[in-house]
Structure 1
Amino acid sequence: MMMKKTVCMGLILCGMAFGTTAQTRGSLGQSDPKAKVVLDNVSKKFKSLKSVIANFVLKVEGANNSVSDSKKGSVYLKGAKYKVVMGDQEIISDNKTSWTYAKDVNEVTINNVDQSGNSMTPAKIFTNFYDKDFLYRLNGETTEKGKVLQNIELTPTDKSKTFFKVLVDVDKKNQTLARMKVFEKNGNRYTYEISSFTPNGAVTDDMFTFDAKKHPGVEVVDLR
């Protein structure tokens, strides 16, 4: 079944299902204003761009180091439209319809995009996903490969989530997301590392729709 094959791709899109069901902050504490400035700058920088092409590495670590895996992928963004490619799998959206394509079985699943704003998309990961659903604090700065990274720790306000902490590293000079690490309650850890970030990269609108004619014999599962 393609559903099993696309679990990893789902993680890319939702950053471990951050969701948008925030609780009242009053009883949970306050966020660090310094961290908010950093995150707001990342959001502002992303929104100023016409398009983005980013390559990433997803590293999966199981509890007690039981499993370790690494996969490379790419994401193409233009406003709310996106295309994520990783191995034989693609997720494409024109912000109205989404297509999840598995090349190895030549099958595509079609869904309507959730217009309620409750779903997590690649664009939201680069913008203000954090503002309503997390408390956050700046943990200082580190230097890696000549880059100064600002280290921010986020904790979800909804304690029923499957994860309890997210660490975000921001490239201080370029004001872009460099790394995100998600800690699940079951001990699993998922690290999304941006290996390259191309602002205003060459993308075209036809990249954000799935053309069945280019995939002869494709099996279509339409769930709209």
Structure 2
Amino acid sequence: MKKTILIGALLCGLVSVSSAQSNDPKAKAVLDGVSKKFKSLTSVVANFILKIEGANNKVSDTKKGTVFLKGAKYKVALDGQEIISDNKTSWTYTKDVNEVTINNVDQSAGTMTPAKLFTNFYDKDYLYRMDAETTEKGKVLQNIELTPTDKSKSMFKVLVSIDKKSQTIARMKMFEKNGNKVTYEITNFTPNASVNEATFTFDSKKYPGVEVVDLR
């Protein structure tokens, strides 16, 4: 169950990254640049570290993962669990119980998917403003603060750090109302990577004995 929550947080988080606080035109220009850059790519493979901190700033969990993107198709692999979508069908596989759940993809405009991470989703549900630039590990980061317009959301603020030179997301930190903080740090970003189409489907033959829960 804990791993399922982490995967769910990743999906919500990856989409929330494209949004933000005060509708600052400078922030919009930066976000638009990220969106334009992503749309020019045929595919993306990104490695990331997920860190969860409790209200006392104590790290309660750290995991590594990889996301594969090609158009609207995606695969998220995170410590024993995978979410795969070919934009028609989605599969959620949990290794420790050897179970896969199958669903139809919701094609509505408001559906959250990792494929929307770098696209212009930010003008709909968030306000945004520029924060101060910082330099980390030799990279200049453009920091943007995002706040949801819907105050019922579990998070009240998101800080997005964008690599100014490459126009790609370097880090995202979500602040939840319960005091928890969830950070996604991109450790490696490979544009136009060679990604086989088979990456975006679930082949049950590769998972002997897998239990299939088909909810279509």
Query: Do the two structures share a fold, i.e. TM-score over 0.5?
Result: yes
The superposition leaves residues 55-98 of structure 1 with CA deviations (integer Å, 9 ceiling, x where unpaired) of: 00000001123552110000000000000001110000001110
CA RMSD of aligned residues (A): 1.5
User: Is 1:175 matched up with 2:173?
Assistant: no
Identity %: 75
| 2:13 aligned partner, one-letter code | G
Give the Cα–Cα distance (whole angstroms) in 1 for the partners of residues 215 and 122 of structure 2. 30
Please say if residues 11 and 17 of structure 1, whose CA atoms lie closer than 8 Å, have aligned partners that are also in contact.
no
Please say if residues 16 and 182 of structure 1, whose CA atoms lie closer than 8 Å, have aligned partners that are also in contact.
no
What is the aligned counterpart of 1:13 among 6, 11, 14? Answer: 11
1:36: which partner in 2? 28
Give the Cα–Cα distance (whole angstroms) in 2 for the partners of residues 191 and 129 of structure 1. 20
Q: 1:130 Cα shift?
A: 1.6
Describe the shift of the 1:67–1:196 C-alpha distance in structure 2 as closer, same or farther (beyond 3 A).
closer
1:121-200 equivalent positions in 2, closer than 5 A: 121-200=113-192
Which sits farther off after the overlay, 4-13 or 179-188?
A: 4-13
| 2:12 aligned partner, one-letter code | C
Q: TM-score, normalised by structure 1?
A: 0.91
Q: 1:160 Cα shift?
A: 1.0
Show structure 1 runs of 4+ deviating over 3 A.
none
User: Is 1:63 matched up with 2:55?
Assistant: yes
Q: 1:214 Cα shift?
A: 1.4
Describe the shift of the 1:88–1:30 C-alpha distance in structure 2 as closer, same or farther (beyond 3 A).
closer
What is the aligned counterpart of 1:49 among 30, 41, 56? Answer: 41
Unaligned runs of 5+ in 1: 19-28
The superposition leaves residues 116-174 of structure 1 with CA deviations (integer Å, 9 ceiling, x where unpaired) of: 12221111122223221111000120000100000100011111111100000000000
Q: 1:5 Cα shift?
A: 3.6
| 1:10 aligned partner, one-letter code | G
- Number of aligned residues: 212
Which sits farther off after the overlay, 118-127 or 166-175?
A: 118-127
Please say if residues 12 and 113 of structure 2, whose CA atoms lie closer than 8 Å, have aligned partners that are also in contact.
yes
| 1:210 aligned partner, one-letter code | F
